[in-house]
Amino acid sequence: MILSWAMSILRVSTPLIFASLGGLMSERSGVINIALEGLMLIGAFTAAVVALMTHSPYLGLMAAIVAGALGGLFYAFCVLKLKANQIISGTAINLLAMGMIPLILKILYGSTGATPNLEMNERFLSFPLVLLVFICALIFALFKYTHLGLWISFSGEHPDALESAGISSDKIRWFALTCSGILASIGGASVSIYLSSGYSRNMIGGRGFMSLAAMILGRWRPKTTVLACLFFGLCDVIQMRLQSANLSIALPTQLIQIIPYLMTLIVLTGLVGKSIAPKALGK
């Protein structure tokens, strides 16, 4: 019973953890990333299509990583090279992903709604969980023990200090945004080829924004961010179980759905502990 709950929480949190760690990479380096939603969409779509074509979820994931990296690079190009407003161009990337994917779907499969279903052998059974553990460990270590982690953090706190130490904060941000794209894309892929079988419209359904919320709830720190994602997962699982339990009294499942967002809002009030966003965020 407990194990089954733990497993389902871990499963539904997987995409969130990937994406919110992606958000964390970006925001710790000083760039607001509301394009997470679009990047997840790109990942989910690419993974499903390539898995369908090659019958291999691993190739699907690889393709999603490449697509995510490209997406992250494109966002970096807009905000770092062309100096675009981070929020506006992030919104544009979300819109672009939302609009382009159905058009491509229609050309590929004649339907705007979904890809054909993936067979069991074209999906992941548990690999994303292994990857998740690996990536979490990598990112914890990155910020705790390495110079690169220090650079990323300085790039978000005081980019001029980094520059004066002889390291280009722009380069660090290019790197961080690419990682962010890759991670968000893996998150998206784990929705389409791990949690479900194939891509369908609205599949991401705000998970990108949810990851952003989790990262804020986790106060821009890797460990607490992962915990926040698990908490979001818990709320999700409670809601699903309640829905399927078919209780005679109609419990408002929507209200349970609200809890994570309400909590994030409360964190934004700064009344519980102080908010510690990177100082140069958005600049």
Partner 1 sequence: MKKILLPLFSTFISLLMGLLLGSVIAAFADENPLHILQIIWNSGLGSKYDLGTTLYYANALALTGYSVAVAFHAGLFNIGAEGQLNMATLMVAIVGLTFPSVSPFLGIIISFSVAMMAGALWAGIAGLLKAYRGGHEVISTIMLNIIASALASWLITLPVLRNTENQNPETRQLSLSYFVRGADPLVKFFMDSPTSSSILIIFLLAILLWAFLFRTRTGFAIRATGQNEVAAELAGLNPKLMKVIAMLIAGACAGLVAIGEVNGHTGKFLLGFSPEFGFMGIAVALLARNQPLAIPPAAFLFAILHKGAGDLDIETKNITRDLAVVIQAVVVLSISISPWLEEKILAFMVNHKWGAKE
Partner 2 sequence: MLGVALELRKISKQFGQVLANHKVDLKVHVGSIHAIIGENGAGKSTAMKILCGFYHQDSGEIIVKEKKVRWPSPKEALASGIGMVYQHFMLAGTHTVFENIVLGTIDYPWSLIQKKEARLKIEKLSKYYGLALDLDVNVEKLSVGEQQRVEILKLLFRDTDILILDEPTAVLSPIEIESFFGQLRNLKNEGKTILLITHKLKEVKAIADKATIFRDGKTVAEITPADFSIEAMAELMVGRKLVGISDNRNNREEEKSSEVIISLPDFKVHAGEIVGIAGVEGNGQRTIIDQTLKLRTADSGMLPEKRLEEALMLGASLYENFLLTKWRQFSWWLSPKIIMPYVKEVLSRFDIRPLNANLIAKNFSGGNQQKFVVGRELWSLSRDLTKDNFKGPKFLLACQPTRGVDINAMEFIHQRILEQRDRGHGVLLVSSELDELLRLADRILVLYRGKIVKEFKRSEFNETKIGLAMAGGSSS
Residues engaged in binding partner 2 (CB under 8 A): 145-148, 150-151, 153-154, 157-158, 160-168, 276, 279
CB of 29 to partner 1, least distance (A): 17
- Is 98 a binding residue for partner 1 by CB under 8 A? The answer is yes
Contacts of 45 (CB under 8 A, 6+ apart): 101, 104, 105, 115, 188, 192, 199
User: For residues 24-83, which are near partner 1 according to CB under 8 A?
Assistant: 32, 34, 78, 82-83
Tell me if 245 contacts partner 1 by CB under 8 A: no
Between residues 26 and 89, which has the closer beta carbon with respect to partner 1? 89
Among 134, 137, 223, 270, binds partner 1 (CB under 8 A): 270
| Binding partner of residue 34 among partner 1, partner 2, none, CB cut-off 5 to 8 Å per kind | partner 1
Residue with smaller CB distance to partner 2, 164 or 269 = 164
Interface pick for partner 1 out of 138, 161, 206, 276 (rule CB under 8 A):
206
Q: Binding of partner 1 at residue 102 (CB under 8 A)?
A: yes
Where in 40-117 does DSSP place strands (E)? none
User: Which entry of partner 2, partner 1, none binds 154, CB below 5 to 8 A by partner kind?
Assistant: partner 2
In the complex with partner 2, the residue whose CB is nearer, 142 or 204, is: 142
- What contacts 162, CB < 8 A, 6 or more positions away? 151, 154, 155, 168, 169, 172
Q: What span, in angstroms and rounded, lies between the C-alpha atoms of 154 and 172?
A: 10
Q: Which stretch binds partner 1 (CB under 8 A): 9-17, 61-69, 188-196, 254-262?
A: 254-262
The C-alpha atoms of residue 161 and residue 271 are separated, in whole angstroms, by: 31
* Nearest-angstrom CA–CA distance, 176 and 143: 12
Q: Judged by CB under 8 A, does residue 7 bind partner 1? A: no
- What is the rounded distance in angstroms from the CA atom of residue 101 to the CA atom of residue 82? 25
Rounded to whole angstroms, what are the CA distances from 116 to 48, 63, 209, 269? 9, 18, 27, 45
- Pair 68, 42: CB distance under 8 Å: yes
Nearest to 97 by CA among 66, 71, 62: 71
Q: Which of 172, 180, 203, 217 is nearest to 90 (CA)?
A: 180
Dist CA 94 CA 266 (whole Å): 26
**87 versus 227: smaller Cβ distance to partner 1:** 87
Among 88, 133, 141, 165, binds partner 1 (CB under 8 A): 88
Q: Which two three-digit tokens encode residue 114?
A: 């979904």
Q: Which stretch binds partner 1 (CB under 8 A): 64-72, 163-171, 176-184, 211-219?
A: 211-219
On whether the CB atoms of residues 121 and 60 are closer than 8 A, the answer is no
Q: How far is the CB of 135 from partner 1 (least distance, A)?
A: 24
- Using the rule CB under 8 A, is 243 a contact of partner 1? no
Site residues for partner 1 per CB under 8 A: 32, 34, 78, 82-85, 87-89, 91-96, 98-103, 106-107, 112, 206, 209, 212-213, 216, 250, 252, 254-255, 257-258, 261-262, 264-265, 268-271, 275, 277
